[in-house]
């Protein structure tokens, strides 16, 4: 109890308050502009915070991380462009809601879901950091491979009913993930002598191209057709009672999934959001609305990606293994400050662990308040004529992509994927599985080949955790299909019933 | 589109088979993963082509393309490529403003407000955010 009081007590100083405010302002701005990732902002801010004491420095960095995951929902909902990778799944339903004139509810629900997810993630992990970290330590290559296989089953779910096209897109994404260094021997592969490809295909450039640029190009190509008008109406801002009730289950699912995914090393808010969206769809009474403007889908994804922040922070502290790329940057800063994250941190600096949890809680509450206040100001953005909106989006995407690695090559790649995304959309091939394949591909290959080196397939099928995950993967594919066939046999649908549309952000 | 993916699958398979094998013995070849992906893409492409012959294509999610829209996309791509070259030689505040003005013109903007004031404002905001605040060398 003393450590808890000491840890929280250390935060009640004007300096820490100022640092949290500054971090919130920077983070919101960073998140709202596509192309500026939280990793990049935290990396840049690290250079300025290294001269500060550890606690104020951590207050700035952690608040940037939290606030960026609120700010990134705005472009995801309003212009179908994820502000950071963590809001990829936000586009699935957020943009569809905005186009239905429900942008106000979407933004409010997203802010609350993000805050609840964030607080649940922190609370659960404050209580169960040690046992959960022990479980995550059990994950070797076979278990990670099985986990990735489970993740890949979502390709089918995000294909919007176009299974063959979705799988083709997914395999294309997995193939893109093979570009760069071989995961085991480190030799260059499919780089064609281009140095920028040695570290792998730039992920940010690909997602900005596939989502942001493709959306603008698609609107341009189809201009003249009423349905392609930019979002101009916010509608109601506050969900009614029935809508509030409908969000309880998806937020619970999202918070649980996000916390678990956050704990796992190398799995960030982007994966957490997609997994939670898929899981919430499976348990929903209205799965057919997912991808067409479902508040359940939106809140599941957003609560999950924010719940993952608590998980990734505490995995970093407990194991000394970064939960995601942002935490890798933060780990470097902590080591320079003389703090060595790992199991011993809990015995040596228990108060610091609670101080960090306290920073995350304050940052979440402050950013929620800022989100609710600021949302009405975003209405001004939508008053821009469409031609200005196109230009603003494209220029911010270009400069934002350039800023990640200061690379003109990345900008060219983003443009290429913008055109590729447009062609794929015209031919009805969803973009979501490509991103999923690109994220999970390197993890899948590395852990599969490591498992093979360690002892062949036996290492996978003799691991109880891996077997459970693989069985879950099979069930995840089979159960919804068996269930829908059984339902169809009982109650045949009337002729002419339209197939569900693919998710706005997924299939586009 | 199935034919394009079929060609892509073949290219991946050929490239995978060109990966040099290391001298030391390995439990699995480094070619196995890309080969599996290439084979998978080929198989699904063939399936897609067969399905395309058997079923009537549905384009329910896609509006017809307009000629002016296609020209605008081509204009944006060319302008961006030109900006990539211009950026090397001319300061961002100038090249950026010319670029934004060009995009606005392609998108249908006309007049002083559209082609001077709006580009100037956007360029200054971009410069302040990236160059001054985030220290990105633009």
Instruction: Provide the residue ranges of all domains of chain B, joining segments of one domain with +.
Output: 2-54, 67-133
Hey, are the CB atoms on B37 and A225 less than 8 Å from each other?
Answer: no
DSSP helix/strand/coil, A189: strand
Predicted local distance difference test score (pLDDT) of residue A363: 94
- Taking only residues 402 to 421 of chain A, the set having a beta carbon closer than 8 angstroms to any beta carbon of chain B reads 402-403, 406, 408, 411-412, 415, 419
Query: How much is the pLDDT for A412?
Result: 93
Rounded CA-CA distance A98/A223 in Å is: 19
pLDDT value for A375? 64
pLDDT of residue A495: 44
Residue-level pLDDT at A329: 73
pLDDT for residue A228: 40
3-class secondary-structure state, position A222: coil
Place of tokens 């589109």: B1
Distance CA A288, CA A497 (A): 12
Does residue A129 have a pLDDT over 70?
A: no
Instruction: Kindly state the average pLDDT of the residues A187-199.
Output: 88
Do residues B21 and B30 make contact, with C-beta atoms less than 8 angstroms apart? yes
Contact of A428 with chain B, judged by CB distance below 8 Å, is answered with yes
Binary contact (B38, A227; C-beta < 8 A): no
Top-confidence range, A61-70, A144-153, A478-487 = A61-70
Separation CA A153–CA A151 (nearest Å): 5
- Residue B11 reports pLDDT greater than 60: yes
Q: A-chain residues within 8 Å CB-CB of B104?
A: 387-388, 391
Query: Is the pLDDT confidence value at B78 over 90?
Result: yes
A313 versus A106: which is more confidently predicted? A106
Q: Reply yes or no on whether the pLDDT at B69 is more than 50.
A: yes
**β-pairing, A188-189 with A180-181?**
antiparallel
Pick the more confident residue, A508 or A200.
Answer: A200
- Tens digit of each residue's pLDDT (9 = 90 or more) over A359-376: 999 999 999 998 887 666
Chain B nearest-CA distance from A162, in A, is 11
Q: In chain A, whose CA is at the least distance from the CA of B50?
A: A164
pLDDT band at A498 (very low <50, low <70, confident <90, very high): very low
The stretches of A340-385 forming alpha helices (DSSP H) are 345-348, 350-374, 379-382
* Inter-chain CB proximity A391 and B103 less than 8 Å: yes
CB A432, CB A505: distance < 8 Å? yes
Alpha-carbon distance A310 to nearest alpha carbon in chain B (angstroms): 26
Nearest to B41 among A172, A395, A399 (CB): A172
Contacts of A225 in chain B (CB under 8 A): 63-64
pLDDT at B7 over 50: yes
Are A192 and A396 spatial neighbours (Cβ–Cβ below 8 Å)? no
Contact A345, A353 (CB under 8 A): yes
Q: Residue A264: which region, alpha, beta or left (left: phi > 0; alpha: psi -120 to 50)?
A: beta
| Cβ–Cβ < 8 Å for B34, A175 | yes
Mean pLDDT for chain A? 80
* Token pair 């973009």: residue: A431
Give the tens place of pLDDT for each residue, A258-300.
888 877 655 666 778 888 898 898 888 888 888 888 999 999 9
Asked whether residue A123 carries a pLDDT value surpassing 50, the answer given is yes
Q: Considering CB atoms only, which of A220, A453, A498 is closest to B27? A: A453
Nearest CA-CA partner of A317 in A338, A334, A337, A336: A334
How far is CA A347 from each of CA A106, A317, B17, rounded to the nearest angstrom?
A: 43, 12, 52
Where is A181: in which H helix or E strand? Answer: strand A180-181
DSSP output for A389-410: HHHHHHHHHHHHHHHHHT-HHH
Rounded to two decimals, the pTM is 0.71
Task: Give yes or no for a contact between A44 and B134, defined as CB atoms under 8 angstroms apart.
Answer: yes
Model ipTM? 0.91
Q: Under 8 Å CB-to-CB from B49, ≥6 apart: which residues? A: B2, B3, B6
Q: How far apart are CA B79 and CA A318, in angstroms?
A: 50
Average pLDDT over residues B35-45: 94
CA A44 to mean position of chain CA atoms: 21
């Amino acid at each position: 109890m003393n450590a808890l009081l000491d840890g929280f007590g250390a935060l009640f100083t004007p300096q820490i308050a100022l640092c949290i405010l500054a971090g919130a302002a920077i983070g919101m701005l960073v998140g709202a502009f596509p192309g500026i990732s939280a990793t990049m902002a935290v990396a840049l801010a690290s250079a300025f915070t290294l001269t500060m004491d550890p606690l104020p420095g951590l207050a700035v960095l952690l608040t940037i991380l939290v606030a960026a995951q609120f700010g990134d929902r705005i472009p995801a909902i309003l212009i179908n462009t994820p502000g950071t990778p963590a809001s990829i799944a936000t586009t699935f339903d957020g943009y569809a809601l905005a186009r239905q004139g429900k942008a106000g509810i979407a933004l409010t629900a997203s802010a609350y879901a993000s805050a609840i997810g964030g607080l649940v993630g922190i609370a659960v992990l404050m209580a169960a950091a040690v046992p959960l970290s022990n479980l995550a330590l059990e994950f070797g290559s076979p278990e990670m491979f099985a986990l990735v296989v489970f993740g890949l089953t979502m390709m089918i779910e995000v294909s919007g009913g176009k299974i063959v096209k979705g799988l083709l897109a997914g395999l294309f994404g997995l193939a893109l993930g093979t570009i760069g260094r071989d995961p085991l021997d480190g030799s260059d592969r499919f780089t064609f002598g281009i140095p920028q490809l040695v570290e792998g295909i730039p992920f940010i450039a690909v997602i900005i191209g596939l989502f942001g640029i493709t959306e603008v190009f698609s609107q341009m190509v189809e201009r003249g057709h009423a349905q392609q008008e930019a979002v101009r109406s916010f509608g109601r801002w506050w969900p009614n009672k029935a809508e509030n009730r409908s969000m309880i289950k998806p937020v619970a699912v999202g918070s649980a999934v996000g916390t678990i995914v956050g704990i796992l090393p190398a799995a960030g808010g982007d994966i957490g959001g997609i997994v939670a969206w898929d899981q919430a769809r499976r348990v929903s009474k209205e799965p057919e609305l997912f991808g067409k403007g479902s508040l359940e889908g939106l809140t599941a994804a957003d609560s999950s990606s924010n719940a993952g922040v608590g998980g990734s922070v505490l995995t970093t502290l407990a194991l000394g293994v970064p939960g995601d790329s942002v935490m890798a940057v933060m780990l470097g800063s902590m080591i320079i400050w003389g703090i060595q994250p790992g199991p011993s941190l809990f015995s040596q600096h228990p108060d610091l662990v609670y101080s960090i949890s306290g920073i995350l809680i304050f940052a979440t509450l402050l950013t929620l308040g800022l989100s609710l206040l600021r949302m009405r100001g975003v209405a001004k953005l939508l008053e821009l004529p469409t031609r200005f909106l196109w230009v603003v989006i494209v220029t911010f995407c270009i400069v934002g992509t350039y800023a990640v690695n200061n690379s003109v090559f990345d900008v060219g790649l983003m443009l290429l994927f913008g055109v590729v995304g447009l062609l794929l959309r015209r031919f009805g091939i969803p973009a979501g599985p490509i991103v999923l394949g690109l994220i999970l591909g390197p993890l899948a290959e590395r852990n599969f080949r490591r498992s093979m080196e360690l002892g062949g397939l036996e290492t996978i099928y003799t691991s109880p955790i891996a077997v459970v995950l693989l069985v879950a993967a099979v069930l995840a594919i089979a159960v919804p299909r068996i269930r829908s066939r059984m339902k169809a046999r009982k109650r045949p649908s009337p002729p002419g019933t339209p197939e569900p549309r693919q998710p706005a952000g997924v299939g586009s | 589109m199935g034919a394009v993916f079929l060609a892509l699958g073949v290219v991946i398979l050929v490239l995978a088979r060109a990966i040099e094998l290391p001298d030391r013995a390995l439990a699995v070849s480094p070619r196995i993963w890309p080969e599996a992906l290439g084979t998978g893409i080929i198989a699904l492409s063939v399936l897609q082509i067969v399905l395309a012959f058997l079923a009537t294509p549905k384009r329910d999610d896609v509006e017809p393309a307009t000629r002016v829209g296609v020209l605008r996309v081509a204009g944006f791509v060319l302008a961006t490529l030109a900006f990539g070259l211009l950026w090397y030689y001319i300061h961002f505040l100038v090249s950026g403003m010319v670029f934004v003005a060009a995009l606005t013109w392609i998108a249908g903007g006309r007049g002083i407000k559209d082609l001077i004031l709006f580009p100037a404002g956007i360029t200054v905001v971009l410069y302040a955010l990236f160059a001054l605040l985030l220290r990105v060398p633009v």
